[in-house]
């Protein structure tokens, strides 16, 4: 009989995000591997837990408002919370934390660039009001000091203006660290438009493991979170607390790994000494994050499109980027022309664009043949 230990509470809006789909798959695999009985519960269905239900709740969301409402629910229902996302702004008594090591990952990327002589750095952060964005900025500036690099942050509510600022200073900087990989994909497109060659004139790197990062022009060097490890730690933390009820709380930091690609000329990871974790002061509070700009929403939609694409879809996109007609693509893939048109229209729907030409423009601008 499977052991029932917890429920996983998920913010409804977060359920639509690409990253939740990745989380969900790895969580389901870990739950199955351990032969556990854990239920996924979404906003509209969260009841007050009866006394015979599991005493633990694993929390996945994206907004501070949802987090604190759900923590209040956990207190009323006598559920012990294990917070994975979002990271709380201040300590939560009795709550366990399973978090990505954002500070350590930022230091890892800066140390990698510094080990290859890239000492004049900029950070591109088009989401400066988000808690994660601000923590990335703090960690970046601290890492620059530790690695004897010069660094500044280009951000603000207008990503185009921030990208123009970086492009105008490209001759005086060595590399750009982007707050996330989708922002980096956007920046790569803007730099190419400005005639700046990556990596010959400027290195660009970011954080994350999106499909777009692997297909960008050029493919992006990133520091990625091991999703399998995060799922293992989250479920393992809940299982330990379930079997050791007198333990008040646990805190786990999930490590990251560097994936080197063409945007940093495939240079291997250096041997620069890695310091310990940086201790950043806990902020008193962050302003409410502003909505993403239209261009960042477009990049996110393109990422969702690629994440839904299968091998045939990817082959069609490669052929489109290289200028092939739908008739020629149909012949190459041994399918009907109507099948090719159907799949292109389906990809347009996922990408949120009204028309094949607009979709093709995005592919050519942000991905490579």
Q: Please report, for the domain that includes residue 19, its CATH number.
A: 3.40.50.2300
**Res 280 pLDDT > 60:** no
Tell me: do 107 and 220 sit in the same domain.
yes
Tell me: do 179 and 232 sit in the same domain.
no
Between residues 307 and 27, the one the model is more confident about: 27
**CA 75 to chain CA centroid, nearest Å:** 30
- Residue 131's pLDDT band, with cuts at 50, 70 and 90, is low
- Residue 295 included in any domain: no
Q: Do 129 and 160 contact (CB within 8 A), yes or no?
A: no
Residue 53's pLDDT is 55
Task: Give 331-362 pLDDT, tens digit per residue.
Answer: 988 889 889 998 898 888 888 888 888 888 88
Tell me: do 27 and 175 sit in the same domain.
no
Q: Which pair of tokens denotes residue 243?
A: 């079997």
**Res 222 pLDDT > 90:** yes
Task: Give 90-106 pLDDT, tens digit per residue.
Answer: 888 889 999 888 889 99
Separation of alpha carbons 43 and 209, rounded Å: 27
Tell me: do 357 and 208 sit in the same domain.
no
- Across the beta sheet with 36-42, what order do the strands follow? 36-42, 3-10, 56-60, 80-85, 96-100, 251-254
**Domain interval for residue 117:** 102-225+258-264
Q: Do 234 and 149 contact (CB within 8 A), yes or no?
A: no
- Residue 106 included in any domain: yes
Cα radius of gyration rounded to whole Å, the chain: 22
Q: Which residues make Cβ contacts (< 8 Å) with residue 273, sequence separation at least 6?
A: none
Tell me: do 173 and 119 sit in the same domain.
yes
- Residue 318's pLDDT band, with cuts at 50, 70 and 90, is confident
Q: Do 95 and 256 contact (CB within 8 A), yes or no?
A: no
- Residue 284 included in any domain: no
Residue 282's pLDDT is 41
Residue 204's pLDDT is 97
Tell me: do 37 and 108 sit in the same domain.
no
CATH number of the domain that 313 lies in?
A: 1.10.10.10
Between residues 165 and 132, the one the model is more confident about: 165
- Residue 291 included in any domain: no
- Residue 75 included in any domain: yes
**Res 115 pLDDT > 60:** yes
Residue 65's pLDDT is 83
Question: What is the dihedral sign for C-alpha 302, 23, 132, 9?
Answer: positive
**Res 287 pLDDT > 50:** no
Q: Do 12 and 40 contact (CB within 8 A), yes or no?
A: no
Residue 275's pLDDT is 38
- Residue 208 included in any domain: yes
Q: Of the given ranges (151-155, 165-169, 294-298), which has the lowest mean pLDDT?
A: 294-298
Which of 217, 236, 254 marks a domain boundary? 254
SS (H, E, C) the chain: CCEEEEEEEECCHHHHCHHHHHHHHHHHHHHHHCCEEEEEEEHHHCCCCCCCCCCEEEEECCCHHHHHHHHHHHHHCCCEEEEEECCCCCCCCCCEEEEECHHHHHHHHHHHHHHCCCCEEEEEECCCCCHHHHHHHHHHHHHHHHCCCEEEEEECCCHHHHHHHHHHCHHHCCEEEECCHHHHHHHHHHHHHCCCCCCCCCEEEEECCCHHHHHCCCCCEEEEECHHHHHHHHHHHHHHHHHCCCCCCCEEEECEEEECCHHHCCCCCCCCCCCCCCCCCCCCCCCCCCCCCHHHHHHHHHHHHHHHCCHHHHHHHHHHHCCCCHHHHHHHHCCCHHHHHHHHHHHHHHHCCCCHHHHHHHHHHHCCC
Tell me: do 211 and 107 sit in the same domain.
yes
Question: Backbone phi, then psi, for 268, in 5-degree steps?
Answer: -70, 160
User: What is the per-residue burial (b if ≥16 Cβ within 10 Å, else e) of 224-252?
Assistant: bbbbebbbbbbbbbbbebbeeeeeebbeb
Q: Do 222 and 108 contact (CB within 8 A), yes or no?
A: no
Tell me: do 40 and 119 sit in the same domain.
no
Number of domains in the chain: 3
- Residue 169 included in any domain: yes
**Res 44 pLDDT > 60:** no
- Residue 282 included in any domain: no
Tell me: do 65 and 84 sit in the same domain.
yes
User: Taking all residues of the chain, what is their mean pLDDT, rounded to a whole number?
Assistant: 85
Between residues 211 and 284, the one the model is more confident about: 211
Residue 284's pLDDT is 43
Tell me: do 107 and 213 sit in the same domain.
yes
Q: Work out the average pLDDT over 215-221.
A: 92
Q: Work out the average pLDDT over 294-309.
A: 82
Tell me: do 95 and 66 sit in the same domain.
yes
**pTM of model > 0.85:** no
Give the CA angle between residues 25, 29, 35 to the nearest 5°. Answer: 145
Separation of alpha carbons 233 and 98, rounded Å: 7
Half-sphere exposure of 155 (CA within 13 A, CB side): 19
Residue 259's pLDDT is 93
Residue 299's pLDDT is 85
**Res 203 pLDDT > 90:** yes
Q: Work out the average pLDDT over 183-189.
A: 94
- DSSP-assigned beta bridge partners for residue 98: 252
Tell me: do 59 and 158 sit in the same domain.
no
Closest CA to 368 of 180, 183, 216, 231: 216
């Amino acid at each position: 009989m499977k052991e029932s230990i917890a429920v996983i509470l998920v913010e409804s809006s977060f359920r639509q995000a690409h990253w939740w789909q990745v989380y969900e798959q790895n969580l389901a695999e870990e739950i199955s591997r351990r032969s556990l009985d854990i239920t996924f519960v979404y906003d509209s269905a969260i009841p007050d837990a009866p006394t015979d239900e599991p005493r633990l709740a694993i929390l996945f969301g994206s907004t501070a408002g949802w987090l604190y409402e759900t923590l209040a629910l956990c207190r009323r229902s006598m559920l012990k919370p294990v917070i994975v996302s979002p990271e709380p702004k201040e300590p939560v008594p009795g709550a366990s934390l399973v978090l990505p090591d954002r500070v350590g990952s930022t230091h890892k990327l800066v140390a990698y660039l510094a080990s290859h002589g890239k000492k004049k750095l900029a950070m591109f952060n088009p989401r400066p009001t988000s808690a994660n964005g601000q923590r990335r900025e703090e960690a970046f500036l601290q890492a620059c000091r530790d690695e004897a690099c010069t660094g500044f942050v280009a951000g603000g509510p207008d990503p185009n203006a921030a990208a123009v600022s970086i492009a105008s200073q490209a001759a005086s900087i060595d590399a750009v660290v982007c707050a996330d990989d989708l922002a980096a994909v956007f920046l790569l497109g803007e730099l190419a438009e400005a005639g700046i060659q990556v990596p010959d004139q400027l290195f660009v790197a970011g954080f994350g493991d999106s499909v777009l990062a692997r297909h960008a022009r050029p493919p992006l060097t990133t520091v990625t979170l091991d999703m399998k490890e995060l799922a293992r730690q989250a479920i393992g933390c809940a299982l330990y607390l379930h079997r050791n009820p007198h333990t008040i709380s646990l805190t786990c930091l999930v490590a990251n790994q560097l994936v080197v690609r063409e945007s940093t000329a495939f240079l291997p990871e250096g041997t620069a000494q890695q310091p310990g974790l940086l201790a950043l002061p806990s902020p008193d509070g962050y302003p409410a994050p502003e909505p993403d700009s239209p261009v960042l929403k477009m990049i996110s939609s393109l990422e969702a499109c690629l994440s839904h694409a299968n091998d045939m879809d990817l082959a069609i996109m490669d052929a489109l980027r290289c200028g092939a007609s739908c008739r020629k693509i149909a012949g190459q893939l041994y399918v009907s022309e109507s099948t090719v048109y159907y799949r292109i229209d389906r990809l347009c729907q996922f990408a949120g664009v009204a028309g094949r030409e607009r979709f093709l423009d995005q592919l050519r601008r942000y991905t490579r043949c």
